[in-house]
A and B are shown apart, each in its own frame.
Chain A
Amino acid sequence: GENVEQHPSTLSVQEGDSAVIKCTYSDSASNYFPWYKQELGKRPQLIIDIRSNVGEKKDQRIAVTLNKTAKHFSLHITETQPEDSAVYFCAASKRANNDMRFGAGTRLTVKP
């Protein structure tokens, strides 16, 4: 089955710096890659996603890139702010919903 690895497990940056979180997946049939943000004590919420027919997607300060050949995708957050502090999860799925596998998560801390 699909295996998703996520790095780093913790990341600390200064406010205003960029943050990059990387994920690799094992199943070349995976075609949907969402990123979720989980604030302390809250539920995970989708922040951005990308499908396998697209190499990059941006939404304001966040972007995701996908390299299908290398089977890895990354989350980029620019101009980080303290409210970006949270746990971020990547995931990969072969079909739109089922068979979704999550990475172990990255705890991002943005220091003011």
Chain B
Amino acid sequence: EAQVTQNPRYLITVTGKKLTVTCSQNMNHEYMSWYRQDPGLGLRQIYYSMNVEVTDKGDVPEGYKVSRKEKRNFPLILESPSPNQTSLYFCASSLFGTSKVEQYFGPGTRLTVT
């Protein structure tokens, strides 16, 4: 089954404790992206990647890191989480350079930083 998976789905952590949210897709998509969703603000792009070893900042990259060592995985790293990073996070993937550009979203990760 074609899908995007994220882990964990829920996470409560404390300020300053490094964490990683994993994202994996099995559709051989070149493009992957991370978004955060906050009430009234829609989906804001954090980082995106157009292929292996190619990453770029989105609108709200501060406090986040990503890596793209393999095509299928795109982990989101919070080196020192702060309460303002409490949010719902979505990973998404799609083909790139073709007419089929639908973004497939993962199930979401709800992060709470206390």
User: Which residues does chain B contribute within 8 Å of A105, judged by CB atoms?
Assistant: 40, 42
Q: Which of A73-105 contact B (CB under 8 A)?
A: 89, 91, 96-98, 100-105
Q: How many residues of A contact B (CB 8 A)?
A: 22
Select which of A32, A43, A102 is within 8 A of B42 by beta carbon.
A102
Given contacts A43-B108, A97-B96, A98-B56, contact A49 B102 (CB under 8 A): yes
Taking chain A's interface residues, is the majority helix, strand, or loop, or is none over half, making it mixed? loop
Range for the number of chain B residues in contact with chain A: 20 to 34
Select which of A43, A96, A104 is within 8 A of B96 by beta carbon.
A96
The residue of chain A having its C-beta at the shortest distance from the C-beta of B101 within the complex is A96
A104 and B42 contact, CB distance less than 8 A: yes
Select which of A45, A101, A104 is within 8 A of B59 by beta carbon.
A101
Nearest first, the 4 A-B pairs at minimum CB distance are: A96-B101, A43-B105, A102-B43, A104-B42
Not counting A97-B50, A104-B41, a sample of 10 additional A-B residue pairs whose C-beta atoms are within 8 angstroms of each other reads: A6-B42, A34-B103, A43-B90, A44-B90, A45-B105, A89-B43, A101-B45, A102-B43, A104-B40, A105-B40
